[in-house]
Amino acid sequence: MKNNELKIKDELQEESLFNGSLGRRSFLQYAGVSAAGMALVAAGCKKDRGYPDMNAGATLDFKDDFGVLNYAYALEQLEAAFYVKVAAAPPAAFTTAQKAYFQDIQFHEVAHREFFKNALSTAAIGSLEVDFSSIDFTSATSVLGAAMAFEDLGVAAYNGAGVRIKTDAYLVLAGKIVSVEARHAAYIRDIISNGTFADLNSLTALGASNANGLDGALTPDKVLAIAGKYIKTKINVINL
């Protein structure tokens, strides 16, 4: 298992998952191929994880790194589902540039989701059922507000989960993903109100500190309590 983890670390350091030179199709393919090495580690540890049989919903067991990876996978499922829906039928008030950018975010989030799904292999939780009934997808204001909430929460979630990751390669991966989520958050905030892309004062509820120049960080229980509004599937959390 140690050799596989070292191999993953080398692959993550040699080539960024989000290299701008990759085309959209190659981008998604890369997510699957790179995850294959991680899948070997996940499959090898699956047999002794000892998940409880809760009959319904998804279980996030934070006793090891795979619990954190499944937590990230759950959040990426939520974001991907949202952006796929927006990209398929954007609000009429969206500009051409905004439509194109939301298409790009869609590809990023789908790549994140598929990476974790393939990496976790048989250790992955199932697909989550989402609930976007509180979002008016015909309204640019509603869609942008939801997008800002998802991105800000995503950044705080990755930052808060980092301390729980024990494997260097997974921590590197989380750092690469959270930086992309932060780019999304900054862009969306700027669409809503130009020049507010770096406003940390409005993120104190998520743990941000403008005085110290630090973004927010929330523990998984707090993140899931907020995200639960948009998730129908019951999520069981143990060993947190």
> Per-residue pLDDT for 26 more than 90?
no
pLDDT per residue over 119-167, tens digit each? 999 999 999 999 999 999 999 999 999 999 999 899 999 999 999 999 9
Mean pLDDT of 21-41: 44
Confidence band for 84, pLDDT divided at 50, 70 and 90:
very high
Name the average pLDDT for the chain.
80
pLDDT per residue over 168-207, tens digit each? 999 999 999 999 998 999 899 889 877 656 666 566 666 6
pLDDT per residue over 34-50, tens digit each? 544 444 344 444 444 44
pLDDT for 208: 54
Instruction: Give the C-alpha separation, 32 to 125, whole Å.
Output: 17
* Domain around 164: 2-238
pLDDT for 176: 94
Is the torsion defined by CA of 92, 93, 96, 99 positive or negative?
negative
Mean pLDDT of 224-230: 95
Confidence band for 14, pLDDT divided at 50, 70 and 90:
very low
For the chain, give the percent of residues with pLDDT over 70.
68
Is the torsion defined by CA of 18, 204, 217, 51 positive or negative?
negative
Helices (H), the chain: 2-14, 24-46, 65-88, 96-120, 140-161, 168-192, 220-227
CB atoms within 10 A of CB 205: 12
Q: What is the DSSP string of 97-113?
A: HHHHHHHHHHHHHHHHH
Number of domains the chain is built from: 1
pLDDT for 240: 87
pLDDT for 217: 83
> Per-residue pLDDT for 60 more than 60?
yes
125-129 contacts: CB < 8 A, separation 24 or more?
125/58, 125/59, 125/60, 125/70, 125/73, 125/74, 126/58, 126/233, 127/77, 128/58, 128/74, 128/77, 128/78, 128/231, 128/232, 128/233, 128/235, 129/231, 129/232, 129/233
Confidence band for 6, pLDDT divided at 50, 70 and 90:
very low
pLDDT for 205: 61
pLDDT per residue over 86-121, tens digit each? 999 999 999 999 999 999 999 999 999 999 999 999
> Per-residue pLDDT for 56 more than 70?
no
> Per-residue pLDDT for 31 more than 90?
no
> Per-residue pLDDT for 11 more than 90?
no
CB atoms within 10 A of CB 189: 22
pLDDT for 198: 66
